[in-house]
Homo-oligomer: A and B are copies of this chain.
């Protein structure tokens, strides 16, 4: 079974809304083991919808349509699908009753055009809509299937969960399983070079790299009769990738870097505090993305001004005068200050020139220092140079701080 997705609505082609249904449905199809090769967007135009439906039926067995199911003139999806499948529309009494009950419950008058929403292709199975007026439908004919849903995501998601998912599970005998391997400290090009032989040798599972901000994901995806068989295909490939590039692998599937750092802190019973200058709180913001981060993250100081660096973090005025706010010395003192002020086991600091202004020949935009202060060992400060605009430089500072924290927490303990 091969799927094609159609999003129907002029508002999409005018850019008035973002098509979040597309990624939701694409994910569900992947999980259901149904390949999706094309996704089309078309406006509220009967001729162009007909053309797109014809094309989709010529190259797929399963059409998933969203949008254009409302009561107005430009809602053309049900009629278009009926025509493409060669069946007429009919009034469905049960849908009409549901509509009437909906309007009655809200004390709103039901305008005549609303009955349009009770017209369905002959032979269609209705899909209940727990959060809106337009029920969807499933239509099967001559080996082709259409699943037709309204446009609003808050209607699509429950309709999918409650009706479509089960229908597809029954229909498809196939499972797709994916494992995402998450790497940091290596670029996409370099990682792909490292894994070239593995990527090329594979057809099932497929191995595909995705570049993210300051990290790279490798997705290994297998198609098989059942989940156990899919894992039998995936596991040895994952093992080979770990062999080649395991030192850069920080997490698996949905695991984020801040989650991994949090898990390591919790496992070692350590607490963390931050001292942030150029990142202004973004590192604390990342760390507290994780529910339950209060178990190990105590907080910290946003020392954006030098006065706060001195007065709150205790960075010596002489250090700031001699080396400046963006220096290894200041970064180290900030990290130590974060520990001292909060009582945390580990203090991490960031200070840098985020730009676009404020750069000098000696301290250009993109220069940053990270400080790491830990009990009973010398404080470290590392010099880094980043590239990009202000948001990118700041996000890379945060990412690199997390990478360094992870490295620190993976070191063998000497206790």
Query: Of the 9-residue stretches A78-86, A90-98, A101-109, A141-149, which lies at the interface with chain B?
Result: A101-109
Q: How far is the CB of A16 from chain B (nearest CB, A)?
A: 6
**Chain B hits for A387, CB < 8 A:** 102, 105-106
Q: Could you tell me which A residues sit within 8 Å of B by CB distance?
A: 10-20, 22-30, 36-45, 48, 52, 55, 70-74, 102, 105-114, 130-131, 152, 154, 178, 187-190, 192-193, 196, 199-200, 208-211, 219, 221, 273-274, 276, 278-285, 287-289, 291-294, 297-305, 307-308, 311-312, 341-343, 354-358, 385, 387-392, 394
Whether B391 pairs with A289 at a CB distance below 8 angstroms is yes
CB-based contact B301/A299 at 8 Å? yes
With A299-B303, A312-B341 in contact, do A14 and B41 touch (Cβ < 8 Å)? Answer: no
> CA of A14 to CA of B11 in the docked complex: distance in angstroms?
23
A23 touches which of B17, B114, B298, B303 (Cβ 8 Å): B17
> CB < 8 Å: which of B11, B42, B302, B356 contacts A210?
B11
* Assembly CA distance A37 to B40 (angstroms): 11
> Can you name 10 extra interface pairs (CB under 8 A) apart from A298-B304, A299-B305?
A12-B39, A13-B37, A14-B219, A15-B25, A19-B22, A108-B190, A154-B389, A281-B283, A298-B305, A299-B302
In the complex formed, the residue of B with least CB distance to A300 is: B302
Q: Is the interface of A mostly helix, strand, loop or mixed?
A: mixed
When chains A and B are docked, how far (Å) is the Cα of A39 from the Cα of B292? 42
In contact, A343 and B311 (Cβ under 8 angstroms): yes
Q: Which listed residue (B27, B193, B199, B304) contacts A288, Cβ 8 A?
A: B304
A281 touches B300 (CB 8 A): yes
Cβ B285 vs Cβ A355 within 8 A: no
Closest to A364 in B: B105
In the assembled complex, the Cα of A369 lies from the Cα of B107 at a distance in Å of 16
